[in-house]
Amino acid sequence: MWSCSSLCRPSVEKILRNSSSNQSPSMSKCTSSAMHSLYTISKRRRFSHGSIIHNPGERRRKNLFAFQMDADGAMVGNLKLAPEVYHALSHGDPVVALESTIISHGMPYPQNLQTAREVEAVIRENGAIPATIAILDGIPCVGLTKEELEKLAILGRQAQKTARRDIPQVVATGRNGATTVSATMFFASKAGIHVFVTGGIGGVHRHGEQTMDISSDLTELGRTPVAVISAGVKSILDIPRTLEFLETQGVTVVTYKTHEFPAFFTESSGCQVPCRLDSPEECARLINANLTLGIGNGTLIAVPIPKEHAASGKLMESAIVKALEEAEAEKITGSAATPFLLARVNELTGGESLVANIALVKNNALVGAKIAVALAQLRMEKITSAGERKLI
């Protein structure tokens, strides 16, 4: 559900103005009274980070003026929620956000579509609703239909790689955008989704102290209250400097069932982190503490790739070094660098890195869904005096 302070009130006021100018005095008075009652109801809802936290006492009440609901989903402002995502959020059920750059820029069609469907299936099988986020024809979508997911997969690199900075341009021009970690976090937070699964986040690039090439994923983690479940930082990057940057941003970094920060394709990076958690319930309690304290930044939960799918560390490092040299020679920088490096590493490892990538994303989806379920249960535990469940 959504913030009445930013969405419901303007909608109500607009309707009141229209009704007063176009209707008879008696009809206008009736409409104004109805709108006043509607807005009074809306004001009684609790708010958090721009999204309405559902009031169970009004669970069956539909605000048709603030929400335009049809078979394709709910339009709230400029954001479209898929029907099942809308339903889950309005009832406090677990939802897991997914990025779309991995679909359009991470692997070729039809393998990208198959992987996207399999990742969504893993989330459903573990009790949560998947919400793949993308911008389609200028409309930010939270949750995609089968047809929309296939459209994005077929578009591939024709869909613009969209970080937070690119959102206004893609929306204003009516283009298609595949969201990166930063853009996905932004939209997830707006929708009230607290858990987001991805493969690996961006970070400080190697030689970043000279180039200042630092992913916006890191600054987004420093200002957006969404928990990101990943296999750590992409191993093509400078992991120690990335962790230092996250510390400066005030981001809580957690390792799952290990003390050592994972290196994406491999289980370990040699970097220790101070916080280790060993169950979805422990992760949920940490996320909930972050939200209830209003700290305002995200949490990074690093999950090692399963041992049976981990790539050889020496093989990966050798391929990464060669790919970096080629990127430098060809002057490939900025947002084009990561897709190029990942694709080149996959070629140099004979496809081993792509197999590992798919395996780790599915594993992250498994862990993320369990965390989302535990978080939803935790946030529904407080019982009101009327005996209804209530989000805390």
**Catalytically active residues, by annotation:** 99, 234
Nearest-CA neighbor of 352 among 269, 265, 267? 265
The C-alpha atoms of residue 363 and residue 128 are separated, in whole angstroms, by 15
Residue-wise burial string across 164-178, b where 16 or more C-beta atoms lie within 10 A, e elsewhere: bebbeebbeeebbbb
Nearest-CA neighbor of 263 among 223, 221, 314, 216? 314
The C-alpha atoms of residue 370 and residue 93 are separated, in whole angstroms, by 12
Alpha helices (H) along 249-336: 280-293, 313-329
DSSP letter, residue 268: -
Task: State the distance between the two ends of the chain, measured CA to CA, in whole angstroms.
Answer: 15
* 163 membership: H or E segment, kind and range: none
- How does strand 73-76 pair with strand 68-70? antiparallel
- How does strand 79-81 pair with strand 73-76? antiparallel
| 286 contacts 252 by C-beta, under 8 angstroms | yes
The C-alpha atoms of residue 172 and residue 149 are separated, in whole angstroms, by 22
| 364 contacts 301 by C-beta, under 8 angstroms | no
Q: Which residues touch 173 (CB under 8 Å, ≥6 apart)?
A: 138
Check whether the bond before 274 is cis (ω within 30° of 0).
Answer: no
Residue 232 phi, psi dihedral angles, 5° rounding: 90, -150
Structure tokens at 169: 């341009």
Burial of 354 (0-12, 13-18, 19+ CB in 10 A): buried
Q: What is the DSSP string of 354-378?
A: HHHHHHHHHHHHHHHHHHHHHHHHH
